[in-house]
Structure 1
Amino acid sequence: MRPPMVGIPAPRFVHSCTIRNNSNGNIKVQILYSGPAPEGQGVQQEASTVDIPVGGYIRAKERSTNHGSYQTRKEIAAIKVLRANGQKQKIVAPFEGVNGIELNWVFIVDNYKIHSVNPHPTTNIF
Protein backbone atom coordinates (compact mmCIF):
# COMPACT_ATOMS: atom_id res chain seq x y z
CA MET A 1 0.00 0.00 0.00
CA ARG A 2 1.26 3.47 -0.92
CA PRO A 3 1.68 6.03 1.83
CA PRO A 4 -0.67 9.03 1.57
CA MET A 5 0.64 11.99 -0.40
CA VAL A 6 1.35 15.07 1.63
CA GLY A 7 1.98 18.43 0.10
CA ILE A 8 1.38 22.11 0.36
CA PRO A 9 -1.26 23.99 -1.60
CA ALA A 10 -0.31 26.04 -4.64
CA PRO A 11 0.39 29.73 -3.99
CA ARG A 12 -2.66 31.98 -4.39
CA PHE A 13 -1.12 35.31 -5.41
CA VAL A 14 -2.46 38.23 -7.46
CA HIS A 15 0.36 40.33 -8.95
CA SER A 16 -1.69 42.78 -11.03
CA CYS A 17 -5.37 43.55 -11.40
CA THR A 18 -8.15 45.58 -12.93
CA ILE A 19 -10.52 47.37 -10.57
CA ARG A 20 -13.90 48.47 -11.97
CA ASN A 21 -16.25 50.91 -10.26
CA ASN A 22 -19.82 49.69 -10.83
CA SER A 23 -21.16 51.65 -7.85
CA ASN A 24 -23.32 54.79 -7.91
CA GLY A 25 -20.51 57.08 -6.72
CA ASN A 26 -16.87 57.94 -7.20
CA ILE A 27 -14.45 55.91 -5.08
CA LYS A 28 -10.89 56.21 -3.80
CA VAL A 29 -9.02 52.89 -3.94
CA GLN A 30 -5.83 51.96 -2.11
CA ILE A 31 -3.93 48.89 -3.33
CA LEU A 32 -1.51 47.38 -0.82
CA TYR A 33 1.40 45.40 -2.27
CA SER A 34 3.58 43.10 -0.16
CA GLY A 35 6.81 41.23 -0.83
CA PRO A 36 10.26 40.40 0.52
CA ALA A 37 12.37 43.40 1.53
CA PRO A 38 15.38 44.20 -0.70
CA GLU A 39 17.83 43.13 2.02
CA GLY A 40 16.05 39.79 2.34
CA GLN A 41 15.04 40.53 5.92
CA GLY A 42 11.31 40.80 6.53
CA VAL A 43 8.51 42.09 4.36
CA GLN A 44 8.23 45.35 2.46
CA GLN A 45 4.83 46.93 1.85
CA GLU A 46 3.94 49.54 -0.72
CA ALA A 47 0.63 51.33 -1.26
CA SER A 48 -0.85 52.98 -4.32
CA THR A 49 -3.95 55.19 -4.17
CA VAL A 50 -6.16 56.15 -7.11
CA ASP A 51 -9.57 57.72 -7.70
CA ILE A 52 -12.00 55.81 -9.91
CA PRO A 53 -15.09 57.62 -11.26
CA VAL A 54 -18.49 55.97 -11.63
CA GLY A 55 -18.28 53.42 -14.47
CA GLY A 56 -14.50 53.77 -14.67
CA TYR A 57 -11.69 51.33 -14.07
CA ILE A 58 -7.96 51.21 -13.49
CA ARG A 59 -5.30 48.63 -14.20
CA ALA A 60 -2.92 48.16 -11.29
CA LYS A 61 0.41 47.07 -12.72
CA GLU A 62 2.70 44.48 -11.23
CA ARG A 63 5.32 45.73 -8.76
CA SER A 64 8.66 44.11 -8.04
CA THR A 65 11.62 44.39 -5.69
CA ASN A 66 15.20 44.46 -6.96
CA HIS A 67 17.52 42.28 -4.88
CA GLY A 68 20.64 43.01 -6.93
CA SER A 69 21.17 39.77 -8.84
CA TYR A 70 17.44 38.93 -9.06
CA GLN A 71 13.97 40.43 -8.70
CA THR A 72 10.87 39.23 -6.86
CA ARG A 73 7.26 40.05 -7.63
CA LYS A 74 5.14 41.74 -5.00
CA GLU A 75 1.68 40.36 -4.40
CA ILE A 76 -1.46 42.39 -3.92
CA ALA A 77 -2.21 41.89 -0.24
CA ALA A 78 -5.33 44.05 0.13
CA ILE A 79 -7.62 46.49 -1.62
CA LYS A 80 -9.31 49.25 0.38
CA VAL A 81 -12.19 51.36 -0.90
CA LEU A 82 -13.29 54.74 0.47
CA ARG A 83 -16.69 55.83 -0.79
CA ALA A 84 -17.90 59.43 -1.13
CA ASN A 85 -20.22 58.92 1.86
CA GLY A 86 -17.22 57.98 4.07
CA GLN A 87 -17.94 54.23 4.10
CA LYS A 88 -14.79 52.08 4.03
CA GLN A 89 -14.45 48.52 2.74
CA LYS A 90 -11.52 46.16 2.46
CA ILE A 91 -10.77 42.83 0.80
CA VAL A 92 -7.63 40.89 1.71
CA ALA A 93 -5.64 38.05 0.17
CA PRO A 94 -6.12 35.23 -0.45
CA PHE A 95 -8.91 36.49 -2.68
CA GLU A 96 -11.98 34.41 -3.46
CA GLY A 97 -11.60 32.37 -6.63
CA VAL A 98 -7.80 32.71 -6.86
CA ASN A 99 -6.31 29.23 -7.07
CA GLY A 100 -2.83 29.99 -8.40
CA ILE A 101 -0.67 32.90 -9.52
CA GLU A 102 -2.72 35.53 -11.36
CA LEU A 103 -1.39 38.35 -13.51
CA ASN A 104 -4.57 40.34 -14.17
CA TRP A 105 -7.30 39.46 -11.72
CA VAL A 106 -10.50 41.51 -11.69
CA PHE A 107 -12.14 43.28 -8.77
CA ILE A 108 -15.55 44.89 -9.19
CA VAL A 109 -16.80 47.44 -6.67
CA ASP A 110 -20.58 47.74 -6.54
CA ASN A 111 -22.82 49.57 -4.07
CA TYR A 112 -22.44 46.83 -1.45
CA LYS A 113 -19.02 45.14 -1.63
CA ILE A 114 -15.79 44.42 -3.48
CA HIS A 115 -16.10 41.32 -5.67
CA SER A 116 -13.16 39.09 -6.62
CA VAL A 117 -13.89 37.94 -10.18
CA ASN A 118 -12.12 35.34 -12.30
CA PRO A 119 -11.34 37.05 -15.64
CA HIS A 120 -12.28 33.95 -17.65
CA PRO A 121 -11.86 34.76 -21.36
CA THR A 122 -15.43 33.73 -22.22
CA THR A 123 -16.95 36.08 -19.62
CA ASN A 124 -17.68 39.61 -20.71
CA ILE A 125 -17.08 41.69 -17.57
CA PHE A 126 -16.98 45.07 -19.28
Structure 2
Amino acid sequence: MGQIALEGLEFFAFHGYYDEEQKIGNKYGVDLKVRTNLYRAGATDKLPETVNYELLYKLVYEEMQAPARLLEHLAHRIIDRVLHDLPHVQRVEVSVSKFNPPLGGICHRARVTLKRKRPGPVL
Protein backbone atom coordinates (compact mmCIF):
# COMPACT_ATOMS: atom_id res chain seq x y z
CA MET A 1 0.00 0.00 0.00
CA GLY A 2 1.22 3.51 -0.74
CA GLN A 3 0.02 7.07 -1.00
CA ILE A 4 -0.21 9.51 -3.87
CA ALA A 5 -0.88 13.17 -3.04
CA LEU A 6 -1.73 16.22 -5.10
CA GLU A 7 -1.04 19.23 -2.91
CA GLY A 8 -1.77 22.89 -3.40
CA LEU A 9 -4.23 22.64 -6.28
CA GLU A 10 -5.82 26.05 -6.88
CA PHE A 11 -9.05 26.92 -8.65
CA PHE A 12 -11.27 29.92 -9.18
CA ALA A 13 -14.82 28.69 -8.70
CA PHE A 14 -18.34 29.73 -7.73
CA HIS A 15 -19.09 27.99 -4.44
CA GLY A 16 -20.57 29.47 -1.29
CA TYR A 17 -23.52 29.48 1.00
CA TYR A 18 -24.58 32.98 -0.04
CA ASP A 19 -25.95 33.69 -3.52
CA GLU A 20 -23.47 36.56 -3.90
CA GLU A 21 -20.55 34.15 -3.41
CA GLN A 22 -21.87 31.97 -6.22
CA LYS A 23 -22.06 35.03 -8.51
CA ILE A 24 -18.66 36.64 -7.90
CA GLY A 25 -16.61 33.49 -7.24
CA ASN A 26 -13.52 33.00 -5.12
CA LYS A 27 -10.18 31.22 -5.00
CA TYR A 28 -10.14 27.68 -3.59
CA GLY A 29 -7.44 25.20 -2.72
CA VAL A 30 -7.56 21.42 -2.71
CA ASP A 31 -5.19 18.82 -1.26
CA LEU A 32 -5.92 15.24 -2.26
CA LYS A 33 -4.41 12.01 -0.95
CA VAL A 34 -5.23 8.53 -2.21
CA ARG A 35 -4.02 5.19 -0.89
CA THR A 36 -3.56 2.30 -3.26
CA ASN A 37 -1.18 -0.55 -3.97
CA LEU A 38 1.93 0.98 -5.57
CA TYR A 39 4.08 -2.16 -5.59
CA ARG A 40 3.52 -3.11 -9.25
CA ALA A 41 4.09 0.46 -10.45
CA GLY A 42 7.33 0.58 -8.51
CA ALA A 43 8.46 -2.75 -9.87
CA THR A 44 7.44 -2.23 -13.51
CA ASP A 45 7.72 1.55 -14.07
CA LYS A 46 4.43 1.40 -16.00
CA LEU A 47 1.74 4.09 -15.71
CA PRO A 48 -1.26 1.69 -15.96
CA GLU A 49 -0.08 0.09 -12.68
CA THR A 50 -0.65 3.29 -10.67
CA VAL A 51 -3.05 6.20 -10.35
CA ASN A 52 -2.50 8.73 -13.13
CA TYR A 53 -1.99 12.18 -11.57
CA GLU A 54 -3.56 13.86 -14.59
CA LEU A 55 -6.73 11.82 -14.12
CA LEU A 56 -6.88 12.71 -10.42
CA TYR A 57 -6.49 16.39 -11.28
CA LYS A 58 -9.21 16.16 -13.94
CA LEU A 59 -11.66 14.59 -11.46
CA VAL A 60 -11.06 17.37 -8.93
CA TYR A 61 -11.25 20.06 -11.63
CA GLU A 62 -14.60 18.76 -12.90
CA GLU A 63 -16.10 18.69 -9.40
CA MET A 64 -14.82 22.21 -8.73
CA GLN A 65 -16.76 23.46 -11.77
CA ALA A 66 -20.16 22.47 -10.32
CA PRO A 67 -21.25 25.01 -7.67
CA ALA A 68 -21.81 23.85 -4.09
CA ARG A 69 -23.09 25.75 -1.07
CA LEU A 70 -20.82 24.00 1.45
CA LEU A 71 -17.17 22.98 1.36
CA GLU A 72 -18.24 19.77 3.08
CA HIS A 73 -20.47 18.88 0.15
CA LEU A 74 -17.74 19.66 -2.34
CA ALA A 75 -15.24 17.44 -0.49
CA HIS A 76 -17.84 14.66 -0.31
CA ARG A 77 -18.43 14.86 -4.08
CA ILE A 78 -14.70 14.68 -4.81
CA ILE A 79 -14.34 11.56 -2.65
CA ASP A 80 -17.38 9.94 -4.28
CA ARG A 81 -15.96 10.64 -7.71
CA VAL A 82 -12.49 9.26 -6.94
CA LEU A 83 -13.89 6.06 -5.41
CA HIS A 84 -16.33 5.61 -8.29
CA ASP A 85 -13.89 6.26 -11.14
CA LEU A 86 -10.80 4.60 -9.66
CA PRO A 87 -11.80 1.20 -8.24
CA HIS A 88 -8.25 0.31 -7.14
CA VAL A 89 -8.07 3.31 -4.76
CA GLN A 90 -8.70 2.10 -1.20
CA ARG A 91 -8.76 5.37 0.76
CA VAL A 92 -9.24 9.02 -0.07
CA GLU A 93 -8.58 12.14 1.98
CA VAL A 94 -9.44 15.57 0.64
CA SER A 95 -9.08 19.06 2.10
CA VAL A 96 -10.93 21.93 0.45
CA SER A 97 -10.07 25.51 1.37
CA LYS A 98 -11.82 28.78 0.60
CA PHE A 99 -9.45 31.73 0.57
CA ASN A 100 -10.58 34.93 2.32
CA PRO A 101 -14.03 33.65 3.36
CA PRO A 102 -16.65 36.35 4.08
CA LEU A 103 -16.56 36.23 7.89
CA GLY A 104 -16.49 39.93 8.69
CA GLY A 105 -12.84 39.77 9.80
CA ILE A 106 -9.44 38.57 8.71
CA CYS A 107 -9.24 34.89 7.84
CA HIS A 108 -6.76 33.62 5.27
CA ARG A 109 -8.78 30.51 4.53
CA ALA A 110 -11.48 28.19 5.83
CA ARG A 111 -10.80 24.48 5.33
CA VAL A 112 -12.66 21.20 5.67
CA THR A 113 -11.08 17.76 5.51
CA LEU A 114 -12.93 14.52 4.86
CA LYS A 115 -11.60 10.95 4.65
CA ARG A 116 -13.21 7.74 3.55
CA LYS A 117 -12.20 4.13 3.02
CA ARG A 118 -13.65 2.01 0.29
CA PRO A 119 -16.24 -0.24 1.92
CA GLY A 120 -15.05 -3.80 2.30
CA PRO A 121 -17.07 -6.97 2.00
CA VAL A 122 -19.53 -7.59 4.80
CA LEU A 123 -18.65 -10.83 6.60
Q: TM-score, normalised on structure 1?
A: 0.32
Instruction: Name the larger-Rg structure.
Output: 1
More strand by share: 1
More helix by share: 2
